[in-house]
Amino acid sequence: MTVITFNPTRHVYTKVDKKFTMSERDVPRFDTQYKVLNDKTDGGMDFKLSHSTGPEFEPNTKWVYLSEEGYTLEVCNDPKMTEEAKKNYIKGKHYGN
């Protein structure tokens, strides 16, 4: 489980939706589970991957994680990082052929 420290100047929390939103740039690595630390969540809150809103190499895809407490964490693809990952994937696939 990867730990993320919520930063209100870089990340968004929507109280009505109980949703944390951040860019993949702010996540140390892709994981299926995250612990989000926050001064409002004593000890942090655990999130497990639920689904994505689109394909891996789509710039607008969001990775949706849910907590047992009913909160949502969205990790949004970064367009530049996604394009670079896509190019590297294609390059790697062609290298083996």
As a whole number of angstroms, the distance between CA 20 and CA 76 comes to 11
User: Which residues span the domain enclosing 10?
Assistant: 2-95
Tokens describing residue 33: 């589970």
**Number of structural domains the chain divides into:** 1
How, if at all, do strands 33-38 and 12-14 pair? unpaired
pLDDT in tens, the chain (97 residues): 999 999 989 999 999 999 999 999 999 889 999 999 987 666 789 999 999 999 999 999 999 999 999 999 999 999 898 888 888 888 887 765 5
As a whole number of angstroms, the distance between CA 21 and CA 15 comes to 11
- Residue 83 φ/ψ, nearest 5 degrees: -65, -40
